[in-house]
Each structure stands twice: as structure tokens, then as C-alpha cells.
Structure 1
Amino acid sequence: MITIPRSPSAMRLPRRRHLSPLAWHEARWGLLFLSPWIIGFFAFTLLPMVATFAFTLTNVNLNQAQPLRFVGLDNYWRVLRDQQTWDSLGVTLKFALLALPVAVILPFLVALLLSSRHLKFAGLFRVLFFLPYVVPFVAGVLIWQSMMNSDSGWIAVALRAVGVSDPPNWLQDPAWIYPGLVLLGVWGIGGGTIVYLAGLRGIPSELYDAAKIDGAGSWATLRNVTLPMLSPVIFYTLILAIVDVLQYFLVPLVLNQGSGEPGGTTLFLNLYIYKNFFTYQDMSYGATLAWILFGITLAVTLVVFASARRWVYYAGER
């Protein structure tokens, strides 16, 4: 039997769905409410990024009266020859290796302690841990600078009281500057602690009950229940901590007015970028360094994202 194909005119085409007047009305209002964010994104994020990338290909230096010209990749080649850039990158990486584990692990340990059923006045302790987080950042840095003074600071007085005759000069001795900066940053762990507490509250109690029935101890429960269920929160905290430590800037700026002292140990890459922009007014080179820092941060975060499939567990996935 031969089947005669139907003519195209006889074939039914799917109808195009048209938005109802109500849907159009809602869409217009939605765009209206989104428009401030969209305008702000283009004006204050996308446009500056395009402008700074254009600067990297030119010779914009406000301290030198010279015509604007295209220099190609000269600024990037200059980075390779600039020893100060490599030194500031080394300072940033040294600090990151020391500060990153503290920024991820310490809030987790504090959250575990505050979520314990046996802890009395847990609500009060949560407020006390979070309270320093809401203190203005510059004020907090100046308070800690006073506390860590090797002559009259509270930490030095406490160390002398327990027999340490020569307390460390935390913020002026190159041998102690990085532990001092990490210690200074401990006051701001309240935000990460709250995030971990929310994650711990989201773990179903049935999992702990099942682990207890199976005879799992505290360590086994932590390793096999708490950490896997909390891994998305750990991943989130890790990404934020990576960005924070690689773009470390405000603390050394407040402590030493951006001088990099003692001995250049606080001249972080982000601070060096700031000095190129606003001290040397070498806009093109500062923009080049900013894009390099962006590339480093992006590369590290992409590596962490790629590794996440091996250790991050999301509820509902097999």
C-alpha cells in the first residue's frame, strides 16, 4: 500500500504561544524593577572592566605628558621584568597558604562547638562571636593594632603574665607579620560561623540517629555524616576565602598606609595595584596587574570548581 504524503498546507504546524496581556504587564514590571541593577551592572562593572582592559593595551600614565598610543602587549611583558610584581605576588601567596586553612577550618570548629546540645548559653555565645563581624572594618583593624602592640598591647601583657618575657612584635617583625595578620583576621570569623551553623541546622537528625544505631562514634559521625552533608557549605566558604585572601588589601593599607613595611612583607599584589593607580598614576600598568590578579583568582576558583565533583555532595544526588 502506497502512502501519499500530505501536502505542507495540510500539515498542522505548532502554534506560536503568545503572551497574554497580563503576562506582558508582569514582564514589563519585572524589567522595570530589574533595570536599576542592569544599569548599575553595565555602568559600574562591565564598562569599567572593558575600560581597564583597554588601558592594558595603551600607555596611559597621568604623571607623564605623552600622546595616547596603542602599545599592544608591552605592559604584560613589563610584568615579567618587574621584580616588584613577583615579590608582591610571593607575599600574596605566602599569606594565602597560611590564612586560607584558618579562614575555612576555624569557623567550622566554632560552629560545631556552638551547635553542641551540651553547650549552655549557646545563643549568647553566637551573638558574641558574630558581634565583631558587624564592627566597622577600619575600626576593628585599629583596635587589633593597639591590642597587638608589643609594648603595651593586651596580648603582650597577657603573654608576660604567663612568663613570656619578650612577646612577639606581631605587626612590625617580618618573622611574625603573617601569623599576626592571620590572628588579626580571626575577629571576623563570625560571618563564616553563621553560614556553617545554618548548614549544620540543615542536616537531618535522622542521619545522626542512624549513625548512633550503627555504633558510630563522634569522629566517625563527623567524617561520614557531618562533613559530606556540609560539603556544599564548605565549598562555598572555600571559594569566598580564596577570593578574599588573593585580594587582601584593606588591612595592610590601614596598618602601614600602604608602605609595605616591614621590609616589603605587606606589599600584597592588590596593594601594589592600588599604588600603581593612585600613587604612581600609571593607569595602564595598574590595569594590567589587575587583570593578571583577576586571571589568577579565576584560575584557582576554576580548579576548585573542577575538583568539587569529587568531594562535594548535594542531597538528592546519587
Structure 2
Amino acid sequence: MSETTTLLTGNKRAPLGRSRARRAEAIGAWTLLAPYAVLFLIGAAIPIGYAFVTSLQKAPTPVDPTTGFGGLDSFVTVVTDHRFWSTFQNIAIVMAIWLPIMVLGIVGLALLLHASPNRFGGAMRFIYYIPGALGGIANFVLWVYLLDPQRSPIAFLWQGMGASSFKEVVTPGNMPGILTAMLFFQGVGTWIIVVNGGLNGIPEEVLEAAKLDGANAWQLAWRVKLPIIRPWIGYAALMNIAYGFQLFLEPYLLRQISSGAIPPEWAPTQLGYAFAFTNRDFPAAAAMSIILLLITLAIGWVIVRKSGLFGEDERGN
């Protein structure tokens, strides 16, 4: 009789214990998530919602100063603007050159770093990170110096191209190459460290088993390491794509310094800026931002699906 009572009470306590454990786990998860949720609402959800509402408004004009609901008129205004497709064409050319070089550079150097001895690897991690420390305006000032044929240590390259002034170097045809170099050296070091962190998370038992099976260094990198760090590579590609569509500072300042060598609306973000502060058409500017968001989300969704980012591993953990 006592054994039956013990079994019954034990069976009752087990689900009760699991329920409490799940509840405590959920409370802990929501507690950790709360600060991010607040920041997401303030920095993303509310601004996106406000932009969407604004994009559906009617922009006042000197002929018709009234405002109100305008439907999709702002989106039509943006898409039919003669500068719209050229701005995306410019960014597409930069992406086609920069992203493959960026991803290949990140993965190749991270694999080399991971296979290097400890002391050498530590020194190389520091060297790779130095360009990342020159982010933003510091990186831009450095490249302004390098692009000036009168002062640059690589002036022979520009002079060999027939350029004798900064304005002759910064031309629409040279912009994809210039931005590729600027963005690559600014961000490659930081992303090498991120991907190298994924490589360091590979269990030594997996690598040792591959070596015992006769895998050489190339096979180890191609068949073992790369499939495991695919989510990290996808994350790096996703964030760089998002950054590429947000390009504004570099083309804007290059135009200022080169005395208008490139169009004022060279990138999509510059076109949105022109809608807002030149045309005074804030609904069109909001519509431009929504279009950029949708394009970025669509590309991000494809990358997340293909790379396995945020997905479960093969063991189902």
C-alpha cells in the first residue's frame, strides 16, 4: 500500500516539478528579453510604424496645401521618380563587388587565423582589428587622404589612371571600387573575429575525428569547418547587406569634398533625404524608407533560410 502511495505521489510530483521548472525558465527568458524588447520598441517597431503611417499621408503642395489620407500615392511618387532606379543600380553594383570580396575575405582569413599557432594567431587578431578601430569618420578621413593624388602614398596609381585631382578620382564610375575598398577595410577585421569565434566553438573531438579519418587541412576547412560555421557566415552577410543599403555618409561626404563630382542622390538613402529636406515631401521619404526596409527584410529572409541562421542544429537541440 505504501509503495502504491509513493508511486502515485511520485508521479504527481514529477509533472509538478517540470511545470515549475518551465515556469521559472520562462520567467528568466522574459526577464533577459525585456531590455531588448524595450529597445526594439523604441528604436525599431515604433519608428517603423510611424514611417508607415506617414507614408500613407498626403503631402501638401503650393497648389493643394491640404493634408490627409493619401493611400499609396507616396509610393507611386517614389517609384516613378527618375532617380529611383539609378540609386538602386548604384548600390547593386557596389554590393556585387563588395559582398563577395567581403565574405571570401572574412571566411578565408578567419580559417587561416583559426589554423594558426596561438601566439601568431593572437597577434593577427590584433592586426585584423586595427582597421575596425578606424570606423566612421576616422576611416573616411583616412581614405580622403589616400584618394588625393597630391598627397596620397599611392598617388602613382591615380596618376597612372590619368587623375591629377581628387575630383578626377571620385567619379561615378570609380565609386563602386572606392566604396568597396572603404567598406572592406573598415569592417573585415571585426567580422573575422566574429567568424573566428564560431570556429573556436567547434569541439576538438570533431576536428580530431576528421584528422583520424585522414582529412588534410583543406578538407578539414572545406568539409568540416565551413558547414559548421555557415550560420556565422550568414550572419556576417546579413549585417553587411543591411549596412550596404544604409550607405549615406560616404557618398554624401565624397560629393561635398569633390565639389559635386557625383550626383547628390547617388544612394537610396540620399534620395530619401532629398525627398524629406529638399522637396519637403515627408510621406515620400517615409515611403522610401519602407521600401528599403522591405527589400532588406526579403534578402535577410533568404539568407536566414539558406544559412540556417537562428535554426536548430542537426541534432535537434
Structure 2 unaligned residues grouped into runs of 5+: 1-15
Q: Distance in 1 between matches of 2:246 and 2:147?
A: 23
Report the equivalent of 1:182: 180
Report the equivalent of 1:277: 276
Q: Distance in 1 between matches of 2:233 and 2:86?
A: 31
Q: Distance in 1 between matches of 2:179 and 2:307?
A: 29
Q: What letter matches 1:90 in structure 2?
A: Q
Divergent runs of 4+, >6 A:
33-36, 62-65, 167-170
Check conservation: 2:58, 2:69, Cα contact below 8 A: yes
2:221 alignment partner, SS class: helix
| CA RMSD across the alignment | 3.8
Check conservation: 1:115, 1:200, Cα contact below 8 A: yes
Q: 1:1-318 to 2 correspondence within 5 Å?
A: 40-60=39-59, 66-118=65-117, 121-157=120-156, 159=157, 165-166=160-161, 171-188=169-186, 189-257=188-256, 262-264=261-263, 267-308=266-307, 314=313, 316-317=315-316
Which is further off, 280-289 or 58-67?
58-67
Change in CA separation of 1:107 and 1:65 when aligned onto 2, cut-off 3 Å: same
Shift of 1:141: 0.7
Q: What letter matches 2:298 in structure 1?
A: A
Shift of 1:133: 1.4
Q: After superposition, what is the alpha-carbon deviation per residue over 1:100-139, rounded to whole angstroms, capped at 9, x for unaligned?
A: 1122221222222222335863322211221221234112
Report the equivalent of 1:4: none
Shift of 1:309: 5.1
2:58 alignment partner, SS class: coil
Q: What letter matches 1:130 in structure 2?
A: Y
1:186 alignment partner, SS class: helix
Check conservation: 2:255, 2:263, Cα contact below 8 A: no
Q: After superposition, what is the alpha-carbon deviation per residue over 1:178-202, rounded to whole angstroms, capped at 9, x for unaligned?
A: 1111111122212101101111111
- What count of residue pairs does the alignment treat as equivalent? 293
1:252 alignment partner, SS class: helix
Check conservation: 1:229, 1:315, Cα contact below 8 A: no
Q: Distance in 1 between matches of 2:50 and 2:63?
A: 20
Q: After superposition, what is the alpha-carbon deviation per residue over 1:244-303, rounded to whole angstroms, capped at 9, x for unaligned?
A: 112222221222249995443971111211222233321011001111111111111122
1:295 alignment partner, SS class: helix
Shift of 1:207: 2.6
Shift of 1:82: 1.1
Check conservation: 2:55, 2:284, Cα contact below 8 A: yes
Check conservation: 2:170, 2:262, Cα contact below 8 A: no
1:274 alignment partner, SS class: helix
Which is further off, 279-288 or 65-74?
65-74
Which is further off, 194-203 or 78-87?
78-87
Report the equivalent of 2:12: none
Report the equivalent of 1:3: none
Name whichever structure is richer in helix by fraction. 2
Q: Distance in 2 between matches of 1:260 and 1:248?
A: 19
Q: Distance in 2 between matches of 1:43 and 1:113?
A: 41
Report the equivalent of 2:8: none
2:223 alignment partner, SS class: helix
Which is further off, 295-304 or 144-153?
144-153
Change in CA separation of 1:210 and 1:47 when aligned onto 2, cut-off 3 Å: closer
Q: What letter matches 2:285 in structure 1?
A: G
Q: Distance in 2 between matches of 1:233 and 1:93?
A: 23
Which is further off, 125-134 or 262-271?
262-271
Structure 1 unaligned residues grouped into runs of 5+: 1-15
Q: After superposition, what is the alpha-carbon deviation per residue over 1:189-233, rounded to whole angstroms, capped at 9, x for unaligned?
A: 121011011111112223332322322233222211111111121
Change in CA separation of 1:120 and 1:41 when aligned onto 2, cut-off 3 Å: closer
Q: TM-score normalized by structure 1?
A: 0.77
Report the equivalent of 1:12: none
Q: Distance in 2 between matches of 1:103 and 1:261?
A: 29
Percentage identity across aligned positions? 25
Q: What letter matches 2:122 in structure 1?
A: G
